[in-house]
Each structure stands twice: as structure tokens, then as C-alpha cells.
Amino acid sequence: MAAAAAAAAAMAAPVSMEVDTGTPGVSVMAVAAVTGSVSVSLHPLVILNISEHWTRLRAQEGRPMQGSVVGALIGKQEGRNIEVMNSFELLFTETDGRTDIDKEYYYTKEEQCRA
């Protein structure tokens, strides 16, 4: 559960990256014959939860969404296999480009999912 919260918080935060141009003429991309080594299974309920959350917020605001929806993913990892089985919305505030998640709300929802 904590890993899911950390992942959700990381996805919610604005991302800024520096790009290293690397060595000219040297490609860091994998060749086409290489397949990914991580398998991710996403249950349909997760997609429905995210869609419902976004639609509900849009309907409440009465206009197209300005910003993001934030949530937590619930699942399990066994080796290189990840299975995301459920999700829930999170309350958050944005201040000066920083996203802060309401921890008490998160802990309450997490406990409800365990029951």
C-alpha cells in the first residue's frame, strides 16, 4: 500500500527533467527485438474509477477540467509482474506548483480498502 501511495504522490508532482545529450552518434534506445522485462496487468475497475473521478470533478466544476486528478493505485508486485487491482481518489492541494496530498484522507481510504 505504501508503495502505491508513493507512486501516486510521485505521479502527482510536477516533473522537471534535465536532458543529457550523451555521446553524439551513440544510441541509448533498445533495438526493436528487445521486449520489456516488466509485465503490468491493469484491471478494468481501475480505468472505471479514474474515469468516474475525472467525470465527477468535471461535472461539479461545470466546465472542462483545469488541472489533474490524483489518486492511489492498489495492487501487488511479484518479481517483475505488477498487478493493479483497484484505485481511489485522493484529496490534495496545489501551492506554488507543489502537490500536497491529504495524508489523513489517504490513511482512511487505505484502511477502508483493507477491510
Three-state helix/strand/coil letters over 23-57: CCCCCCCCCCCCCCCCEEEECHHHHHHHHHHHHHH
What CATH number is given for 2-9+37-114 in this structure?
3.40.140.10
Burial (0-12, 13-18, 19+ Cβ within 10 Å), 8:
buried
The pTM of this model reads 0.60
Share of the chain above pLDDT 90, in %: 39
Contact 72, 6 (CB under 8 A): no
3-state SS, 74-106, equals EEEEECCEEEEEEEEECCEEEECCEEEECHHHH
Give the model's confidence band at 86: pLDDT under 50 very low, under 70 low, under 90 confident, else very high.
very high
- Return the DSSP state at 71: E
Q: Averaged over 79-102, what is the pLDDT? A: 92
Lowest mean pLDDT among 17-21, 89-93, 98-102: 17-21
- pLDDT of residue 49 exceeding 90: yes
Mean predicted confidence (pLDDT) in 48-62: 87
Percentage of the chain beyond pLDDT 70 is 68
Provide the CB-side half-sphere exposure for 99 (13 A, CA): 18
Structure confidence at residue 16 (pLDDT)? 52
Give the pLDDT confidence score for residue 57 in this predicted structure.
84
Look over the chain and give the mean of its residue pLDDT values, rounded to a whole number.
79
Question: Which long-range contacts does 50-58 make (Cβ < 8 Å, 24+ apart)?
Answer: 50/87, 53/89
| Structure confidence at residue 97 (pLDDT) | 84
